[in-house]
A and B are shown apart, each in its own frame.
Chain A
Amino acid sequence: MLYWLSAWVCGSGKTLNEIISLQQVTYTYPGTSTPAIKNISLAIPAGQFCAIVGGNGAGKSTLAYTIAGFVPHFYHGTLQGEVSVAGIKTSSTPIHDLVSLVGLVFQNPFNQISGTKFTVREEIAFGMENLGIPRDEMAARCEAMMALVDINELAERFPLGLSGGQMQRVVIASILAMQPQILVLDEPTSQLDPIGSREVLAAIRQLSSQHQMTVLIIEHKLEWLAAYADRIIALAEGTIIADGSPSDVLSDETVWERGVGLTRYTLAARQARAEGRWPAGLKLPVTLEEAIESFQAAR
């Protein structure tokens, strides 16, 4: 409460619409000499579904942890520049206040299950218990969250006995139960099979489209991101190399060359262009729909 008041009083000069704001942020992990992210400046408006792409080592996870406040509070190291979420500066706010503002989900579902609860329902309540939420409120939120990610039938199951996709959805429900304003997901499907991935991505998509949650997702599944993300930020070697709509960013050659990758549709179109079969000025497609249109138009 105090932090909200001080943000207003000090008049940070930023529009409240920017729920995430980074200004000239550079971070170096302890014991290393090269910064993992350099001079990142970024503003993300509330409700946006934003994807971060880039090769491994580009700084994507570091950026996610910085927004969630785990850089610097958990990882320590040197953080320069200003990071604000919902008007609050992360470096001067303790991590346990930040976790109810920014939820973080990462790759391995097994390591995110608390290991202290014997049913899914109680697992979802774990974070709320730590926040001291009253019992009735917790019970209501458990039901709501299970419905949100479609795991109602798993309520009495043992969390570590579920499939990867089911487990990851339990984790997402557990984080959402703490009612963060922003959800950050670091490669949430990379250890899941296609079914599990589909379940998790569908849940995330619903969060964004039906509940207007600000979602920041790191993913390699470009085809899916191209179809559903509002905005894509491409990182390489710790800096932002592109920032815009999926259609623009993922058809940009300079972006591919720096490790981001491209969908097969773009690849095929690029090949056609190299063989001189692609009309000048026709944009390279990124999704299936775009590809159908473009290839028909190119004939």
Chain B
Amino acid sequence: MDLSINSLSYTYPSGVLALEDISLQIAYGESVAIVGQNGAGKTTLVKHLNGLLKPSSGKIQVGGWDTADHSVAELAIRVGYVFQNPDDQLFQSTVWSEVIFGPKNLGKAPDQISELANAALQAVGLNTSAQKHPYDLFASQRKMVALAAVLAMDTPIVIMDEPTTGQDYSGTQMVGQVVESLKKQSKTVITITHDIDFCAEHFERVVVMAQGRILIDGGAREVLSQTETLAQTYVEPPQLMRLAEHLGMGTMPLTADEFVAYWSLR
């Protein structure tokens, strides 16, 4: 399912211009990270993709649907949105009922719902916690419940807002594995993140935003090595790219494996 954003501009009711003439085409199956300082417009942009915000001017199409013509609940069948704060959505008394809430709303068949819920809980490592009350879990685990709740909706496009904030190392690894699994299923994954190392390791394309505009948009390797441009929006390059630069390595690595490979070739 393709995503098409054309000349999107958005002004808040208060009169503040949040997005200025944004155009972005995201093909199905792409993994895109949106980075940039707070206030750059990242969340504002992404909220247009599932209809939470409607453009002041310009058009957004999700697989041919114009978002202005559909409600958020209708678009939810195509676009899943994992919010940053899980406590904004948890209301059921068991993890299981929380996870099946989304697919139920989308009108999926019961056995399909069970299958999807099981797979989702497995993917976030909570399959043994299905009957627990979400608030008996740690905050970072609740974030995983919220993620599973969206995965179970089986949408072709998945948006994640700061999925690794508040996670420990193994939690971050798990989110990374979820992203990889979504990529394997040819789903479109869009994430907003401050964790630039996480971004480098899992996302093919990086969009850098500042003050309501797109600064750069391209492959992760090219974008993340443009240190000066990134600095304009207070983004630091990934740890391994910095190391590679100091060691005078020509090609910029995105993962530890690539780093070792390039380093040993020198």
Interface size for A (C-beta < 8 A) is 35
Known contacts A193-B37, A264-B197, A268-B259: A56-B171 contact under CB 8 Å: yes
- Nearest 10 Cβ contacts at the A-B interface: A261-B169, A264-B239, A193-B38, A268-B256, A56-B140, A56-B168, A267-B256, A55-B168, A271-B260, A268-B259
Of A256, A263, A265, A270, chain B has the most CB atoms within 10 Å of the CB of A265
Contact of B239 among A57, A194, A265 (CB under 8 A): A265
Closest to B171 in A: A56
Contact of A46 with B by CB under 8 A: no
Do the beta carbons of B168 and A220 come within 8 Å of each other? yes
Complex interface: chain B residues within 8 A of A261 (CB): 168-170, 172
Closest to B236 in A: A194
Complex interface: chain A residues within 8 A of B167 (CB): 56
Known contacts A57-B138, A264-B238: A191-B168 contact under CB 8 Å: no
Complex interface: chain B residues within 8 A of A265 (CB): 239-240, 243
Selected interface stretch from A116-124, A206-214, A291-299: A291-299
B233 to chain A, nearest CB (A): 10
| Assembly CA distance A215 to B260 (angstroms) | 37
Complex interface: chain A residues within 8 A of B141 (CB): 56
Contact of B53 with A by CB under 8 A: no
Contact of B234 among A57, A187, A194, A260 (CB under 8 A): A194
Q: Mark B112-153, 1 if CB is under 8 A from A, else 0.
A: 000000000000000000000000001111000000000000
Of B138, B247, B260, chain A has the most CB atoms within 10 Å of the CB of B260
Would you give 15 A-B contacts (Cβ < 8 Å), ordered by A? A54-B168, A55-B169, A55-B170, A56-B168, A56-B171, A191-B166, A194-B194, A196-B38, A263-B239, A268-B260, A270-B256, A275-B264, A277-B260, A292-B243, A295-B243
Closest to A54 in B: B168
Known contacts A56-B171, A220-B168, A272-B264: A194-B235 contact under CB 8 Å: yes
